[in-house]
Homo-oligomer: A and B are copies of this chain.
């Protein structure tokens, strides 16, 4: 199991947008180039981020993308949910999964604990925190 490239690419793009926050809209080309992401593919990913309201777009010449909220108000959990829907690593964790073995299934409890742990880490990672950490690293 690997995390989808959608989430990984999307997360990196969001951090990049947070870093360029004061520079006006960032074009897809710049974003893809800086983050080494296939441009056409990133285009599709970024549309989902826009549609869920995490970023806004400016069309036409000198257009591009920018964060739609303050960096403290967006976490990687938001990004994950925008690109993959609710964090749910196995179907049987959904409310109406209709799995007949749900009551007696002991592995389900393990998947549930993992999902919880993942959500906790993702929620603790705000764009603001990631930008701060990035500035610490590169100086």
- A residues adjacent to B (C-beta < 8 A): 1-4, 7-8, 11-12, 15, 35-36, 76, 84, 88-91, 100-101, 103-107, 109-111, 113-114, 117-118, 120-122, 125, 130, 133-134, 137-138
Say yes or no: A106 contacts B118, CB within 8 Å: no
Give chain B residues whose Cβ lies under 8 Å from the Cβ of A122: 110, 114
CB distance from A78 to the nearest CB of B (A): 13
Is the contact region of chain A dominated by helix, strand, or loop, or is it mixed?
helix
Give chain B residues whose Cβ lies under 8 Å from the Cβ of A35: 101
Say yes or no: B137 contacts A89, CB within 8 Å: no
Say yes or no: A137 contacts B106, CB within 8 Å: yes
Give chain B residues whose Cβ lies under 8 Å from the Cβ of A118: 114, 117-118
Closest B residue to A137 by CB, please name it: B104
Contact residue among B7, B11, B114 (Cβ-Cβ distance under 8 Å from A121): B114
CB distance from A29 to the nearest CB of B (A): 18
Give chain B residues whose Cβ lies under 8 Å from the Cβ of A113: 121
Complex Cα distance A46/B111, Å? 20
Of A1, A3, A110, the most chain B CB neighbours within 10 A belong to: A1
CB distance from A97 to the nearest CB of B (A): 12
